[in-house]
Amino acid sequence: MPKYIIERDIPGAGALTAADLQGISQKSCGVLSDMGPKIQWLESYVTDDKVYCVYIAPDADTVREHAEKGGFPANRVSEIKTIIDPTTAEA
């Protein structure tokens, strides 16, 4: 199943408290539970004004549906085509 990276514009995201992040995470997990196993949240990266989330889903529309149901922005949804790391440089 494809992986997607979702870019969410959330001004002040880097200043969210642990309690804020817990609440957001709980909301997301609740929506995921309701949607069933067709979509999975792997992890998210919080920066100053954005959150980047990695999901496994059958298609981008399913990712957008999760965002809509959760009330989260999904400003950009991109399918991850491949993953590279320093070992990619090895012969």
- Tens of pLDDT, residues 45-54: 999 999 999 9
What CATH number does residue 71 fall under?
3.30.70.3090
Is residue 21 over pLDDT 90?
A: yes
Structure tokens at 9: 């514009």
Q: Per-residue DSSP letters for 30-49?
A: HHHHHH-TT-EEEEEEE-SS
Q: Please give the Cα distance from 55 to 14 (Å, whole number).
A: 21
Domain with 32, as residue range(s), is 3-89
**Exposed, middle or buried, 22 (CB in 10 Å: 0-12/13-18/19+)?**
exposed
Q: What is the tally of structural domains in the chain? A: 1
Q: Please give the Cα distance from 46 to 80 (Å, whole number).
A: 19
What is the pTM (predicted TM-score) of this model? 0.92
Is residue 91 over pLDDT 90?
A: no
- What's the number of CA atoms in the CB half-sphere (13 Å) around residue 27? 13
Instruction: For residue 8, name the pLDDT band (cuts at 50, 70, 90).
Output: very high
